[in-house]
Amino acid sequence: MKEFFRIKDWWGSKAALLMGMVYLFTLWFSIPFNKFIWLALLSITTISGFASLGYLFNDLFDIKKDALTSKRNFIAGKSFLPVLFYFFVAFAFLIFPWKFLPFNFISVLLIAAELLLFLIYAAPPFRLKEKGFAGILTDALYAHALPVALAAYTFALAADKNISTIPFLLLFLWQMLSGIRNILTHQFEDRQQDAASKTKTFVASFTAAQFYGVVKYCIAFELIACICFFISLSISNQAMAVCVGVIFALTASAIYLFGTGGVQKMLESKWKYFPNNVFEKWIPATILLLLSFTDIRFFALLLLHIAAFNHKVYLELLHHVLLPSRGGLRDSLVQIRIGIRRFFSFIINRLIYYSFLLFGVDLKKEDSSALNYLKKQRKHK
């Protein structure tokens, strides 16, 4: 079933980002651990429903286009009832948590807007994904800005607190810029397939140089908006300043690695979605560490989060650190044992030597060990 919901396409990115936002809002609104756990479970459930439904809509209305390029489409060839069932399951995951999550009229409007954007983005006659920049804005809204806004508003309701206007607007701007950069990159990577299927996208007319230039400015403004957001939060919660430091450190790393080659070099490397790695991996881990200082149980959650969204960290630790170090540890123990043996051997030999000196025997002058010297004396007798 997981292939129909395309879990691999969104679990390590959108779900990881939104769960990172859940941790952020927990710290922002000072939500205690016991209440957080309940909110987190409900959040990951509705996140899964939203993401699955979005991909189902795209696959449903892209069947003909995908067939032209042999692109894998998980709904293609399926009969009506199974497809209807998958839509029902996704919608159930989406809507069921709201039986327990706090909501009001604004929440309902945000959820309705999200579902409407799913439809008009992919379905004709609207099909905004082929309407130039309107498609870019729609994707950024439904994939990033609106889900984060809904999550922030929900956690504020759960904490019975108001959201400050400036941080909220900076958060929304940050997510819009992040969404724009991601869909631009996605369209640029799919431009050959889109051309073959006669799908008109905003990036289709871009040259490579134009695309790299646009993405460079998107990254710059996205980082500025993100940093300003965390700075605005750090005014009332100084712990948030740690996130600013993490963002600066990882940005400096990117500049160091790709400063000479520019954005093009970066987009051709494993960092091609930077700064997604910052927001999907490092910031969630940082916030969970900060939360651990308020309740140590959040540290256990950090280990669980890494296993769920970035389990490669554990695999790399196993293969590149623990297993190689096992042989190194064994060699080190052998060397330590040899060293201890030599040390005690030296001490014992010194004791024997000076003991013989007390009886007027210098084993060095005799050029003999204590045992050989005693054997010689026995023979003489």
- 3-class state of residue 4 by DSSP: coil
pLDDT tens digit sequence for 201-252: 888 778 888 888 888 889 999 999 999 999 999 998 889 999 999 999 888 8
Angle at 270 between CA 267 and CA 275, to 5 degrees: 70
**pLDDT: which is higher, 177 or 257:** 177
Instruction: Answer whether residue 322 shows pLDDT above 70.
Output: no
Tokens 């209305």 found at:
61
Residue 304 has a pLDDT of 84
15-18's contacts with Cβ under 8 Å and 24+ in sequence apart are 15/44, 15/47, 15/48, 15/51, 15/309, 16/280, 16/281, 16/284, 16/309, 16/310, 17/144, 17/276, 17/279, 17/280, 18/43, 18/47, 18/147, 18/148, 18/151
Q: Is the pLDDT reported for residue 57 higher than 90?
A: no
Which among 192, 190, 184 has a CA at the least distance from the CA of 210?
184
Residue 224: predicted pLDDT: 94
**Which pLDDT score is estimated for 311?**
60
Most confidently predicted of 14-23, 289-298, 351-360: 289-298
DSSP string over 209-244: HHHHHHHHHHHHHHHHHHHHHHHHHHTT-GGGHHHH
**Nearest to residue 61, comparing CAs of 14, 112, 121, 7?**
121
First to last CA, the chain: 94
In percent, how much of the chain has pLDDT > 70?
Answer: 79
Percent over 90 (pLDDT), the chain:
32
Give whichever of 122-131, 186-195, 352-361, 369-378 has the largest mean pLDDT.
122-131
Cα angle for residues 298, 299, 301 (degrees, 5° grid): 65
Query: Which pLDDT value is given to residue 124?
Result: 86
Question: What is the Cβ-side half-sphere exposure of residue 271, based on CA atoms within 13 angstroms?
Answer: 19
The predicted pLDDT at position 192 comes to: 77
3-state secondary structure of 152: helix
Half-sphere exposure at residue 1, Cβ-oriented, CA atoms within 13 angstroms: 9
Taking 60 as the threshold, does the pLDDT of residue 110 lie above it? yes
Q: Is 167 exposed, middle or buried (0-12, 13-18, 19+ CB in 10 A)?
A: buried
Span 131-139, mean pLDDT? Answer: 90
Q: DSSP letter for 318, please.
A: I
What does pLDDT average to over the chain? 81
Q: How confident is the model at residue 169 (pLDDT cuts 50, 70, 90)?
A: very high
Cα separation, 256 vs 279, in Å, equals 19
The pair of structure tokens assigned to 80 is 């009506």
Greater confidence, 113 or 63? 113
Instruction: Provide the whole-model pTM.
Output: 0.76
Domain ranges of the chain: 7-310, 334-380
